[in-house]
A and B are shown apart, each in its own frame.
Chain A
Amino acid sequence: MTDDMEALYPFLYSQSTDLDAVMSSVRQSTVEKIDEIVTLRRTVLMRDGDRIAACAEAMAEAFAAGARLFAFGNGGSSTDAQDVATLFMNPGGAARPLPAFALTADVAVVTALANDIGFEVVFARQLAASAFAGDIALGLSTSGNSRNLIAAFEEADRRGMLTVGLAGYGGGQMAELGTIDHLFVVPSASVHRIQEAQTTVYHALWELTQQALTRTEAGDGDDGP
Chain B
Amino acid sequence: MDQAVLARVPEVFARRVGPALGLADEADAVARACHAMATRFHGGGRLIVFGNGEAATDAQHIAVEFVHPVIVGKRALPSFSLTSDVATITGVAAATGLEEVFAHQLRRLAAPRDIALGVSPDGGCVNVLRGLETAHRLGLLTLALTGGDDGGPIGRSPAVDHVLIARSADPRVVKEVHVTTYHILWELVHVFFEQPGVLDPRVIP
User: Could you list which residues of chain A lie within 8 angstroms of chain B, going by C-beta atoms?
Assistant: 11-12, 14-16, 18-19, 22-23, 25-31, 33-34, 37-38, 41-42, 44-45, 49-50, 52-54, 56-57, 75-76, 78-80, 82-83, 86-87, 90, 92, 191-192, 195-196, 199-200, 203-204, 206-208, 211-212, 215, 221-223, 225
Contacts and interface: CB of A to CB of B under 8 A. Distances in A.
A160 to B, nearest CB: 23
B5 A57 contact: yes
21 contacts: A15-B200, A29-B191, A30-B27, A31-B24, A34-B21, A38-B20, A38-B21, A45-B10, A53-B1, A57-B1, A57-B5, A75-B68, A78-B60, A82-B57, A86-B54, A87-B172, A192-B183, A199-B176, A203-B172, A204-B12, A222-B2
A87 to B, nearest CB: 6
A92 B27 CA distance: 31
**Size bracket of the B interface:** 35 or more
Interface string B176-202: 100110011001100110010110101
B30 interface: yes
A203 to B, nearest CB: 4
Give the secondary structure class of B's interface: helix
B13 A26 contact: no
A34 B187 CA distance: 13
B9 A45 contact: yes
Contacts of A22: 35, 191-192, 195, 198
Contacts of A200: 13, 16, 176
Contacts of B56: 82, 86
Contacts of A196: 176, 179-180, 183
Nearest to B200: A15
Contacts, number: 175
Interface of B: 1-6, 8-10, 12-13, 16-17, 20-21, 23-24, 26-28, 30-32, 34-35, 53-54, 56-58, 60-61, 64-65, 68, 70, 171-173, 175-176, 179-180, 183-184, 187-188, 191-192, 195, 197-198, 200, 202-203, 205
A45 B13 contact: yes
A193 to B, nearest CB: 8
Given A34-B20, A208-B5, A26 B179 contact: no
Contacts of A23: 28, 31-32, 35
Contact of B65 (A29, A30, A76, A225): A76
Nearest to B69: A191
Contact of A30 (B9, B23, B57): B23
B10 to A, nearest CB: 7
A223 to B, nearest CB: 5
Pick the 3 closest A-B CB pairs, nearest first: A192-B183, A79-B61, A83-B57
A26 B38 CA distance: 13
B194 to A, nearest CB: 9
Nearest to B26: A30
A16 B24 contact: no
A49 B68 contact: no
A208 B12 contact: yes
Q: Tell which of B2, B31, B65, B202 has the most Cβ of chain A within 10 Å.
A: B2
A72 to B, nearest CB: 13
Contacts of A19: 35, 198, 203, 205
A142 to B, nearest CB: 8
B116 to A, nearest CB: 19
Contacts of B27: 27-28, 30-31
